Amino acid sequence: MGPHPARPQGDLWILDAHQLLVARELGIIENLPKLSNDELDDKNKEDALFKVLALGQVIWFLVQMGTRLSYHLLTSQLEIVVFSFAICTALTYGLLLDKPKDASTSVIVSAARYPTPEKMIRIAIAGPGTFGLFRRSIWIPNNAIHSDSKRPMVGPMAKMNQGVVLALVIFGAVHCVAWDFIFPTQVEKVLWRVCSLATIVVIPLCVGINLFISMIWTRVAKREGFSIKYKDTEGVFNFTLSFVFVVCRLFIIVEMFRSFVTLPSGTFRTTWSANLPHLG
């Protein structure tokens, strides 16, 4: 055993925050990695000007939509969809204020000692789960979901689900503003309504049913000493609902551009917000 003499570099572990804590606790590393706040700031590629411009544009759009809706001026379907994006973006921006953007190098720390198999087992269980594909890279993939709760009964996806459900309710509700808009054909109008409702309902339904099943499983399995196989409910059922959801989303994306050719004349009126500074 021991590190291979011909390969003095040894190997590399990319640990997430929870794993780093466990590694520190178990003595794999002697100290938490030292990285000054300034050095970390330097890794952050966030550009203040760009952020101000982006935020300004989003705020301008929100003001513009607000005035249009309050004056009962007609709007295009595209604007309605983009309006829902803008609301979610504003919320996301708020949540990500502390997160460094586009850091492209890792800080490398030397390990103090090799782990025993028992330690390895615990470090691995602290690691991030993935949404969709399993982890296949050494670096942390972008679909990683980190541990976000210390309560054992809360599933690893709980917080993710909360955010998703909130976003979808905002999204679908805003889409419903276009309930009585003018569409190229009557069929499209009905489809728009169906898809808007599906946006709200489908994924929360999926999440709800999965939670219910896993709750039942936990209860039964606790009694049976976990000898029953936990069937991930991400089976045919989830696939079908996700498929329905994606089709609905795609329809709305196509329809928001298609309805552009039949905009009523009121849509082309502007409000005082046209005088505010904005791009495009």
Using CB under 8 A as the binding rule, the residues of this chain from 115 to 134 that contact another protein are 115-130, 134
Task: Name the packing angle between helices 158-175 and 186-224 (round to 10°).
Answer: 160
DSSP string, 154-201: S-TTHHHHHHHHHHHHHHHHHHGGGGG---SSHHHHHHHHHHHHHHHH
Phi and psi of 196, rounded to 5°? Answer: -65, -45
Binding positions for another protein, 219-278, rule CB under 8 A: 221, 224-230, 246, 249-250, 253, 260-261, 263, 267-270, 274-275, 278
166 scored as a contact of another protein (CB under 8 A): yes
187 scored as a contact of another protein (CB under 8 A): no
> What minimum distance in Å lies between the beta carbon of 69 and another protein?
15
Helix (H, G, I), strand (E, B) or coil at 145: strand
> What minimum distance in Å lies between the beta carbon of 175 and another protein?
12
Q: Which residues pair with 144 in a beta bridge?
A: 130
72 scored as a contact of another protein (CB under 8 A): no
Total residue count of the chain as it appears in this document: 280
Q: Which long-range contacts (CB under 8 A, 24 or more apart) does 231-236 make?
A: 233/209, 234/210
Nearest of 145, 245, 132, 130 to residue 197 by alpha carbon: 245
Q: Which residues pair with 130 in a beta bridge?
A: 144
Q: How many residues bind another protein (CB under 8 A)?
A: 148
182 scored as a contact of another protein (CB under 8 A): no
Binding positions for another protein, 1-20, rule CB under 8 A: 1-5, 7-18, 20
148 scored as a contact of another protein (CB under 8 A): yes
Please report where in the chains the tokens 């794999």 appear, as a residue: 28
Smaller CB separation from another protein, 10 or 66: 10
> What minimum distance in Å lies between the beta carbon of 194 and another protein?
18
List the x/- string, 41-70, binding to another protein by CB under 8 A. Answer: --xx-----xx--x--xx--x--x------
Q: Is there a contact between 80 and 182 (Cβ–Cβ < 8 Å)?
A: no
> What minimum distance in Å lies between the beta carbon of 72 and another protein?
16
